Chains A and B, each alone.
Chain A
């Protein structure tokens, strides 16, 4: 387990550096002036005087190495990032990092409940379908997985909104209803975690928690269904593969029931490919999270890129957003690796090098 995890941990900074290099390289294509915002002091008053503004800009270019070769600029920018200086966004009229951090809990809450549901349900459905393969439950699973994966998120969300929100009124978009939103933003309400579903209970306001759950149902379902389908299909296929292997036949010869073989042996070995593919598609998951956030009007991280229209230049915000997303993806990948290390016998005991 140690070796496996160390290897995965070592890959994280390498990935981070490579991707940030690409990000900065792309932004380098733009003229120097557009990168000034990365180092702009957060005080809008400066911009009132154009001559003074111009002088400040020239100073920033000199002082922050903006006219130097790529590698110098990149290293300087990266060290600034690590110091917590993520630049000033003219669109948001604030520093980028605090704006990102403010919006994180909403995104993480959505992501957390989605993963809490789709990982166990996907694994169970996949294994059950493999156990009952070519029978009713298997066909049911394959049909629903096919539908779940083929309908685009935004179309599913339209249908859900029409039926469950407008027609039935059971669930709703956004994070909270209007009254509760006022309460949450008042001084009495203490933000412990930023997760409204948990903070409600901690503030002795169970109704707020319930309301937050009510608003989470549709986004979590929309987001989860495609993930569930993909994970389930991979689990099903790798479980079937495992069940055709020699050890499974040996277990059959010893007289173990098919159910025991599936759940005790095949399932554990099938976990590897399933979790591995989940880890690989984390980036896609994050993309889907942002799409769902936009559709259901949740003020998460994706607000950073929807605030500026297509023609408003804001290099600091887009770079900050990119870097933040990569950190999020790497973190999630690491959690999935950790899960794999904890659950997989071969990885746990260190008998294989790479899961």
Chain B
């Protein structure tokens, strides 16, 4: 059984891997091209400060209109152009996914690397904190930060009438200003999803620390920062890149989900879906009566998630032949 398996596997796997890699790269490249070419694919009215939505007429009719020359994929709600939002939503989602995944990966890697490098009690405490953070649902973090923003609303600062009728004016501190101005979804996702990165970086660094070239670097007299930056991070980075690539898709999906259920966030894709949600389940429940309301954007979302997950898998397989393709 085992012999037969080993004899048949390699050839077949080579073939499977190749088309998967081409598919993964082409899906991701497609999204990147669309994001870059957005101004040409769907010209914005205000080129300098493009909005994610466009109304093609002043009609306030809530009826979705089928595809026409003005709106290539039809309209929804108060004649919002779906094609326009689909193109610009791609740019928005890509920027959002890349930036949050990058920030999260940086934060997690930094924490994990430092913790493992310090070792001992500090390491123990930081890893305990990491485990604790893992028990915190993302949705709570998002609720927390959207709430915090409303708790920090401007009126809380400008006028605080006290018992004696004196108006106290307080200035927001730097930390408060950051919270006020940041996107609560980005804040919540970055601050509460770095834990897997920290864990991976931690185990990687502990393994690398045992190797001889780190000893050699220490003997030569390299400083701690240099050892971490030049030797440990480059060697520990592959699994982190894999995770971050998958996270690009995951973050965008999460953003769209929270926008759709109305918990904050401003995903253009999900906003259009939300506008058209009454029409998805069209009259009589016919799924294809108003297909343009949901199908194109849904496909974009699903393929976005697909593509980046796929790419993560492929990076994993190519960087780490032992992964064997079974470690998804």
CB within 8 Å of B: which residues of A?
11, 14-15, 18-19, 22-23, 26-27, 29-31, 33-34, 51, 54-55, 58, 133-134, 150-155, 158-159, 161-163, 165-168, 233, 236-237, 240, 244, 249, 252, 258, 280, 282-284, 286-287, 290-291, 294-295, 302, 305-306, 308, 310-315, 318, 321-322, 325-326, 329-330, 333
Chain B: which residue is nearest A327 at the CB level?
A: B135
Q: Is the CB of B146 within 8 A of A310?
A: yes
Q: Which of B176, B264, B282, B287 has the most CB of A within 10 A?
A: B287
Which among B46-54, B158-166, B203-211, B219-227 touches the partner chain?
B158-166
Q: Which of B136, B160, B162, B286 has the most CB of A within 10 A?
A: B136
Chain B: which residue is nearest A240 at the CB level?
A: B326
Q: Is the CB of A311 within 8 A of B150?
A: yes
Could you tell me the distance between the alpha carbons of A236 and B328 in the complex, rounded to whole angstroms?
11
Q: 5 A-B residue contacts at CB 8 Å?
A: A15-B132, A18-B129, A154-B261, A313-B150, A329-B136
Q: Is the interface of B mostly helix, strand, loop or mixed?
A: helix
| Of the residues B149, B162, B175, B285, contact of A165 by C-beta under 8 Å | B285
Chain B: which residue is nearest A285 at the CB level?
A: B137
CB within 8 Å of A: which residues of B?
1-2, 5, 8-9, 12, 128-129, 131-140, 143-153, 156-157, 160-163, 170, 175-176, 179, 253, 256-258, 260-264, 273, 277, 280-282, 284-287, 294, 298, 301-302, 305-306, 309, 326-328
Contact of A152 with B153 at beta-carbon distance under 8 Å, contacts A244-B2, A258-B1, A284-B137 already known: no
Residues on the B chain within 8 Å of A162, using CB: 280-282, 285, 287
| Of the residues A152, A158, A294, A318, contact of B280 by C-beta under 8 Å | A158
Q: Is the CB of A306 within 8 A of B262?
A: yes
Q: Is the CB of A329 within 8 A of B137?
A: yes
Q: Is the CB of A283 within 8 A of B150?
A: no
Q: Is the CB of A310 within 8 A of B150?
A: yes
Contact of A313 with B285 at beta-carbon distance under 8 Å, contacts A29-B179, A325-B137, A329-B135 already known: no
Residues on the A chain within 8 Å of B9, using CB: 134
Residues on the B chain within 8 Å of A22, using CB: 133, 136
| Of the residues B8, B138, B258, B302, contact of A150 by C-beta under 8 Å | B302
Residues on the A chain within 8 Å of B176, using CB: 29
Q: Is the CB of B152 within 8 A of A167?
A: no
Q: Is the interface of A mostly helix, strand, loop or mixed?
A: helix
| Of the residues A153, A280, A305, A321, contact of B257 by C-beta under 8 Å | A153
Q: Distance (Å) between the CB of A251 and the closest chain B CB? A: 12
Residues on the A chain within 8 Å of B133, using CB: 18-19, 22
| Of the residues B161, B264, B286, B328, contact of A237 by C-beta under 8 Å | B328
Could you tell me the distance between the alpha carbons of A308 and B146 in the complex, rounded to whole angstroms?
11
Chain A: which residue is nearest B274 at the CB level?
A: A154
| Of the residues A31, A133, A155, A305, contact of B301 by C-beta under 8 Å | A155
Q: Distance (Å) between the CB of A254 and the closest chain B CB? A: 14
Could you tell me the distance between the alpha carbons of A11 and B262 in the complex, rounded to whole angstroms?
35
Q: Is the CB of B131 within 8 A of A11?
A: yes
Chain B: which residue is nearest A158 at the CB level?
A: B280
Could you tell me the distance between the alpha carbons of A283 and B132 in the complex, rounded to whole angstroms?
11
Q: Is the CB of A14 within 8 A of B327?
A: no
Q: Is the CB of A167 within 8 A of B285?
A: yes
| Of the residues A51, A55, A151, A305, contact of B302 by C-beta under 8 Å | A151
Q: Is the CB of A287 within 8 A of B137?
A: yes
| Of the residues A29, A168, A306, A312, contact of B150 by C-beta under 8 Å | A312
Q: Is the CB of A318 within 8 A of B135?
A: no
Q: Is the CB of A54 within 8 A of B148?
A: no
Contact of A318 with B147 at beta-carbon distance under 8 Å, contacts A33-B160, A249-B2, A284-B137 already known: yes
Could you tell me the distance between the alpha carbons of A286 and B138 in the complex, rounded to whole angstroms?
9
Q: Distance (Å) between the CB of A66 and the closest chain B CB? A: 14
Q: Is the CB of B147 within 8 A of A31?
A: no
Q: Distance (Å) between the CB of A212 and the closest chain B CB? A: 23
Could you tell me the distance between the alpha carbons of A355 and B70 in the complex, rounded to whole angstroms?
61
| Of the residues B1, B156, B301, B302, contact of A33 by C-beta under 8 Å | B156
Residues on the A chain within 8 Å of B2, using CB: 244, 249, 252
Could you tell me the distance between the alpha carbons of A4 and B274 in the complex, rounded to whole angstroms?
47
Q: A134-B12, A150-B305, A310-B264 are known; give 15 further A-B pairs, CB within 8 A.
A: A15-B131, A18-B132, A30-B148, A31-B156, A54-B163, A152-B301, A155-B302, A158-B281, A166-B282, A167-B285, A294-B261, A294-B263, A295-B261, A305-B263, A313-B150
Q: Distance (Å) between the CB of B104 and the closest chain A CB? A: 15
Could you tell me the distance between the alpha carbons of A160 and B23 in the complex, rounded to whole angstroms?
28
Residues on the A chain within 8 Å of B175, using CB: 29
Could you tell me the distance between the alpha carbons of A155 and B252 in the complex, rounded to whole angstroms?
14
Q: Distance (Å) between the CB of B13 and the closest chain A CB? A: 10
Q: Is the CB of A233 within 8 A of B263?
A: no
Residues on the B chain within 8 Å of A305, using CB: 139, 143, 263
Residues on the A chain within 8 Å of B326, using CB: 236-237, 240
Q: Is the CB of A283 within 8 A of B1?
A: no
Could you tell me the distance between the alpha carbons of A295 and B176 in the complex, rounded to whole angstroms?
33
Contact of A152 with B285 at beta-carbon distance under 8 Å, contacts A29-B176, A311-B153, A321-B140 already known: no
